[in-house]
């Protein structure tokens, strides 16, 4: 299947893939809630679906089609994502703004994307609490640290992760910036118990021994690493933000575009992590692939 410019796979190509996967036109019509003839016109007459129908096709595509081969094709088409992010200041600023806004919003930040942009540019943000501005500025600084350190083949270390956490949690001293948690934390998005604080250093050492080994399926490995990091939950706060920075570091170091997980994906993201509790990483892998598509679009077009 052809991957369109900026990672946009056409509706026609998605329908073709779904039909090859074994779904019939009748199945597609039922799932998308259109007539059989509508599916026929989309497939054979060059008729384009309306936006609502296009979104339904996209959801079916992500549900039934393994996206990892398409992501690997994107990697081959993009020469050096790290160089683009380091040298193209316009794209770098867009990346910092988008990743900061979405990552903080997933954690409950009420800042709008415009307010986030103002905060990271050092402008005043009216009617926002200082801690909300700190969160945006800190995340921006953590991304800059990542871009300063990262290079092709970069190896993640404990010092690197603790440094990222110390920046993300700067000015939040009760959260022990740059240190593992020393007590219990409550996580509302999973029923799986978190390890007690005394086990965290040992579990992190085990995690770090394998984190730079990607094998023949790097996307799947990075997705499962993200789950494992969140399951350890090594810090009192900032685990989600540092975990997504870790995922970004891993992907960039292996030559992939950076992932952009949106606030719109929040509940699907939590669901995917929850499926990991059962040893099922398919949803998380698909989500990481979708996030990489958006990162590719940003690097190529400067927007998503």
Residue 242 marked in a binding site? yes
pLDDT of residue 2: 39
Judgement on whether residues 259 and 162 belong to the same structural domain of the protein = yes
Residue 269 marked in a binding site? yes
Which residue segment(s) compose the domain that 238 sits in? 70-301
pLDDT of residue 74: 87
Residue 238 marked in a binding site? yes
Q: What is the pLDDT of residues 125-163, one digit of tens each?
A: 999 999 999 999 999 999 999 999 999 999 999 999 999
Q: Is 215 left (phi over 0), alpha (psi -120 to 50) or beta?
A: left
Judgement on whether residues 199 and 232 belong to the same structural domain of the protein = yes
Residue 240 marked in a binding site? yes
Q: What is the pLDDT of residues 229-283, one digit of tens each?
A: 999 999 999 999 999 999 999 999 999 999 999 999 999 999 999 999 999 999 9
pLDDT of residue 181: 97
15: domain CATH number?
Answer: 1.10.260.40
Judgement on whether residues 52 and 166 belong to the same structural domain of the protein = no
- Whether residue 233 lies in the annotated active site: yes
Q: Is 127 left (phi over 0), alpha (psi -120 to 50) or beta?
A: left
How many structural domains does the chain have? Answer: 2
Q: What is the pLDDT of residues 30-81, one digit of tens each?
A: 999 999 999 999 999 999 999 999 989 988 998 899 999 989 988 988 889 9
Catalytic residue among 12, 139, 226, 233: 233
Angle, in degrees to the nearest 10, between helices 25-32 and 36-44: 110
pTM of the model: 0.91
Residue 11 marked in a binding site? no
């Amino acid at each position: 299947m052809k991957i369109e410019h900026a990672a946009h796979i056409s509706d026609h190509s998605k329908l073709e893939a779904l039909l090859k996967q074994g779904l019939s036109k009748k199945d597609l019509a039922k799932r998308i809630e259109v007539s059989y003839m509508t599916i026929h016109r989309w497939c054979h007459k060059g008729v384009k679906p309306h936006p609502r129908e296009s979104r339904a096709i996209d959801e079916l595509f992500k549900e039934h089609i393994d996206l990892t081969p398409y992501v690997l094709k994107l990697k081959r088409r993009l020469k050096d994502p790290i160089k683009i992010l380091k040298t193209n200041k316009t794209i770098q600023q867009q990346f910092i703004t988008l990743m900061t806004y979405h990552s903080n919003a997933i954690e409950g930040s009420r800042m709008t994307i415009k307010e986030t942009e103002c905060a990271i540019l050092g402008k005043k943000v009216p009617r926002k609490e200082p801690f909300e501005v700190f969160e945006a500025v800190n995340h921006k600084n953590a991304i800059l640290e990542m871009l300063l350190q990262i290079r092709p083949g970069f190896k993640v270390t404990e010092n690197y992760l603790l440094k990222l956490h110390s920046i993300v949690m700067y000015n939040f001293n009760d959260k022990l910036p740059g240190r593992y948690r020393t007590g219990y934390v409550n996580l509302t998005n999973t029923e799986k118990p978190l390890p007690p604080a005394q086990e965290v250093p040992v579990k992190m050492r085990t995690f770090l021994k394998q984190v730079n080994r990607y094998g023949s399926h790097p996307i799947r490995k990075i997705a499962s690493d993200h789950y494992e990091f969140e399951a350890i939950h090594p810090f009192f706060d900032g685990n989600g933000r540092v975990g997504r920075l870790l995922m970004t570091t891993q992907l960039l170091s292996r030559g992939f575009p950076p992932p952009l997980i949106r606030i719109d994906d929040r509940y699907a993201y939590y669901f995917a992590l929850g499926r990991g509790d059962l040893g099922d990483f398919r949803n998380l892998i698909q989500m990481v692939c979708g996030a990489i598509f958006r990162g590719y679009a940003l690097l190529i077009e400067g927007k998503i």
